Amino acid sequence: MKTNYQNTIQRFYLLLEQKDLNNWIRLWSEDATITFPYACELVNKSLHGREAINRYGRTSCDLYARLSFSIEDVFVNRNKGAVFLKTQHLISNSQDFYRDSNIGIFEFKKWGKISSYTEYFDPLKPGNTINLITLLK
Q: What is the pLDDT of residues 38-83, one digit of tens each?
A: 877 666 789 999 999 999 999 888 888 888 999 999 999 989 999 9
**In this predicted structure, what is the pLDDT of residue 39?**
78
**In this predicted structure, what is the pLDDT of residue 124?**
63
**In this predicted structure, what is the pLDDT of residue 137?**
42
Domain, as residue range, for 88: 4-129
State the chain's mean pLDDT as an integer. Answer: 85
> Is residue 12 included in any domain, yes or no?
yes
**In this predicted structure, what is the pLDDT of residue 10?**
95
Q: What is the mean pLDDT of residues 79-92?
A: 88
Q: Can you give the CATH number for the domain in which 36 is found?
A: 3.10.450.50
Total tally of structural domains belonging to the chain: 1
> Is residue 92 included in any domain, yes or no?
yes
> Is residue 54 included in any domain, yes or no?
yes
| Structural contact between residues 39 and 45, judged by C-beta atoms closer than 8 angstroms | yes
Distance CA 81, CA 71 (A): 13
Give the predicted TM-score (pTM) of the model: 0.84
Give 5-29 pLDDT, tens digit per residue.
999 999 999 999 999 999 999 999 9
Q: Closest Cα partner for 95 from 134, 70, 64?
A: 64
> Is residue 134 included in any domain, yes or no?
no
Q: What is the β-pairing status of strands 114-120 and 28-35?
A: parallel
Residue 120: exposed, middle, or buried by beta-carbon count in 10 A (0-12, 13-18, 19+)?
middle
CA 11 vs. chain centroid, Å, equals 12
Report percent pLDDT > 90 for the chain: 56
**In this predicted structure, what is the pLDDT of residue 92?**
80
**In this predicted structure, what is the pLDDT of residue 121?**
82
4: helix, strand or coil: helix
